[in-house]
Amino acid sequence: MQFGCKYTWYFINRNNVALYILVIMKTIRNTASKTAILELITHSEVALSHVEIQKLTGDLCDRVTIYRVLERLINEDLIHKIATPDGTVKYASCHHHHDNHHHIHNHVHFSCEKCLSVTCLDSVEPSYKIPDNYLVKEVNFTLSGLCPKCI
């Protein structure tokens, strides 16, 4: 069998049933839009919304492309999505402050109600207790109020 893209065959034998699994590997491409948007987010002090990215990139690319690039960057684990308490979606770069014991992704953010900025608080480590019939995979901790600049 021949394919133009990269692929691998896996073989497993389960319950006397032979399975050949074809894994097609999608090659991720680097484009001008993608690198520019990632640059913007990683160099920004605060988390950025789609409209903010659109204004900052100007006519670099279509707004639909921005959506698709953001989606890809999330899949590649280069950025993460933040929802502010009012439901606005923002994007920030990942710093990978994982909980070493349980490999839980921690997101600690501060959302200023005055200037509407969202900042990652990498130094803050929240602690909590939860009934063990829940499986926690991600911790999303958003504090809101006034940031140092607006206080």
Partner DNA sequence: TTGCTTAATGCAATTTGGTTGCAAATATAC
Partner DNA sequence: GTATATTTGCAACCAAATTGCATTAAGCAA
Q: Name the site residues for its own copies (rule: CB under 8 A).
A: 81, 83-89, 107-108, 110-111, 113, 121, 123-131, 133-148, 151
Residue 58: which of its own copies, DNA, none does it interact with, CB under 5 to 8 A by kind? none
- Give the contacts of 119 (CB within 8 A, at least 6 positions apart): 45, 46, 47, 109, 110, 112, 147
Phi, psi of 33 (to 5 degrees): -60, -45
Give the integer Cα–Cα distance in Å for 147 and 69. Answer: 30
50-57 and 32-43 helices cross at what angle (nearest 10)?
110
Return the SS3 of 24.
Answer: strand
Question: CB of residue 134 vs DNA: minimum separation in angstroms?
Answer: 26
- Amino acid identity, position 111: S
Closer CB to DNA, 67 or 96, in the complex: 67
Question: CB of residue 25 vs DNA: minimum separation in angstroms?
Answer: 8
Question: CB of residue 79 vs its own copies: minimum separation in angstroms?
Answer: 14
Q: Which stretches of the chain bind DNA, using CB under 7 A?
A: 3-6, 24, 26-34, 49-51, 60-65, 67-69, 72, 87, 89
Question: CB of residue 7 vs its own copies: minimum separation in angstroms?
Answer: 29
